Amino acid sequence: MLGFLGIDDGWVSAAYLLCMLSTLLCVVYGLINWNRGEAEVKQEDAEWAAHEKQVEEEL
């Protein structure tokens, strides 16, 4: 691992490699869950939306 991309310190190389791996993991996760949403609207969410609409109309 020493000398990874010209970085002689193993800890710095490990941190750099882990940053790249975490970025790759986030991209893969985002692609898998791109348009995934909840299939149905919860009653709690509908009530919240109705309350928000009422508050906006009162303003």
Residue pLDDT, tens place only, 18-38: 999 999 999 999 999 888 877
> So where are the chain's domains?
10-58
d(CA 7, CA 48): 53
pLDDT in tens, 40-53: 878 898 899 999 99
User: What are the tokens at 49?
Assistant: 């939306």
Spatial contact of 2 and 10, defined as CB atoms under 8 Å apart:
yes
Per-residue pLDDT, 51:
93
Per-residue pLDDT, 1:
47
Per-residue pLDDT, 26:
97
Per-residue pLDDT, 3:
61
List, in order, residues 6 or more apart from 46 with CB less than 8 Å away: none
Give the pLDDT band (50/70/90) at residue 39: confident
